[in-house]
Structure 1
């Protein structure tokens, strides 16, 4: 059977959602070889079409261009799921935007949202997402743009929220926050892409139906995350949109990413 590479993150929402697919628990048109990388690393690797399937930030869709086509299953979007800006003390977004601000990558959806909310942004420092809280707490930067499980743990570092960019997006657009989607290389056969989309949807449904099945796999990649944070992370980012983006979700992606390239492959 043909083997295909699938790049996704080691975060609990991905390992939970795709556990069944990579372990052969659902029917798939090929063997799936997982490659687990930080989301910004996945965004950068997509420039060269490194993986057959890959998770991509919606903020990276334009850079990926026509190399990838969005699949309707496996996405991360919803209400109340957006990135946060945090600092050591209460400040306005305009104030922290004038200082050094750590970001998890220039192609992340988080950074795209930040640039929309704070167009006067000055100096940004790229750090891996799990280093940002410490950099803010230690005074290396004035504020940080945080994603993933950091939204649950920033207070433990003595930090306060400056703005919830997800809330800002939802109030501004009335749409869910489109964080990331699963994309297939556009040079894959169209029938194969449809079959892969179905297999990913089946994997997400399997995860919902058998939530304990992926526990060891999730924990193996969750680094120092507590079981409670893992559970909150999964509950926040894996939802009905992960089964199918839906017309509203696709409209949100198109609103944020624009029409660059041929990534969407569907019309809302």
Structure 2
């Protein structure tokens, strides 16, 4: 029984739509587990999941245990997690991040080296910033397009910063398969996810309405906007540019954060 996990967010829900409605079959029976990305990162560290979404940063710590799927990646094409603050904050000292192993936390460390990271659950960061508990916060998921409702301002788009630094898309999330399952099984699972995304694309309205259930208050139009941001050409096929972006992030994680060496294997 395969243990498959992803985050309960609109982009992941869209990608898994074909599998969720039974239109696409996985190569083995499975159970599904949904949780926030930092929880999935930490479960993958212990090799407790067979197939899972993870943060690209977390790959550095599980590189010898998991293949990276060539589909399913969440990459910002010149955009990414947004650092927000209250209007009166000039230079934030304490910045909330959604978990140590998230890519958002790594990018914050790279782009704002003088800031002190404070780990909070991703869905508590907006309120913590608005209440003045922290100076600023890094928003992932739908918070990237709703923060103005809280009267907050954008300090920095980390995807814009990464593009200026590297010229590459921002590798935020990846889907991985446990190497113990074998390369052949990993390739079959990868193909199933590819077909699931293709099914969602060909049944877009239904897939977006399904994804909206995981969008935490977004309208259908806002859900479509968010899905378009993170289910893009790199999701459908990471390609060489996407692989270069992953390798560049891992190298910077090693240099700046002391992460282990990682030479990812893609399927």
Give the TM-score normalised by the residue count of structure 1.
0.91
1:70-149 alignment runs, 5 A limit = 70-89=68-87, 91=89, 95-96=91-92, 99-122=93-116, 124-149=117-142
1:172-187 alignment runs, 5 A limit = 172-187=165-180
Instruction: Tell me if structure 2 keeps the 8 A contact 1:65–1:262.
Output: yes
Deviation at 1:250, TM superposition (A): 0.6
2:58 equivalent in structure 1: 60
Deviation at 1:35, TM superposition (A): 1.0
* Structure 1 residues without counterparts, runs of 5 or longer: none
Deviation at 1:263, TM superposition (A): 6.1
Deviation at 1:242, TM superposition (A): 1.0
1:244-255 alignment runs, 5 A limit = 244-255=237-248
Over aligned residue pairs, what C-alpha RMSD do you find? 1.8
CA, structure 1 residues 104+15, in 2 after alignment: closer, same or farther (shift >3 Å)?
same
1:28 aligns with 2:26: yes
Deviation at 1:80, TM superposition (A): 3.3
Which one of 128, 152, 157 corresponds to residue 164 of structure 1? 157
Instruction: Tell me if structure 2 keeps the 8 A contact 1:22–1:32.
Output: no
Deviation at 1:166, TM superposition (A): 0.5
Deviation at 1:222, TM superposition (A): 2.8
Give the TM-score normalised by the residue count of structure 2.
0.91
SS of the residue 2:191 aligns to: helix
1:5 aligns with 2:35: no
What is the CA deviation profile of residues 141-178 of structure 1, one whole-angstrom value per residue up to 9, with x for unaligned ones? 11111111111111110000111110010011000111
> In the aligned structure 1, how far is the partner of 2:45 from the partner of 2:172?
18
SS of the residue 1:212 aligns to: helix
1:207 equivalent in structure 2: 200
Instruction: Tell me if structure 2 keeps the 8 A contact 1:101–1:145.
Output: yes
Deviation at 1:120, TM superposition (A): 2.2
2:44 equivalent in structure 1: 46
2:264 equivalent in structure 1: 264
CA, structure 1 residues 264+53, in 2 after alignment: closer, same or farther (shift >3 Å)?
same
Deviation at 1:79, TM superposition (A): 0.8
Instruction: Tell me if structure 2 keeps the 8 A contact 1:21–1:32.
Output: no
Instruction: Tell me if structure 1 keeps the 8 A contact 2:94–2:115.
Output: no
Displaced runs of 4 or more, over 6 A? none
* Structure 2 residues without counterparts, runs of 5 or longer: 255-259
> In the aligned structure 2, how far is the partner of 1:263 from the partner of 1:212?
39
> In the aligned structure 2, how far is the partner of 1:214 from the partner of 1:172?
35
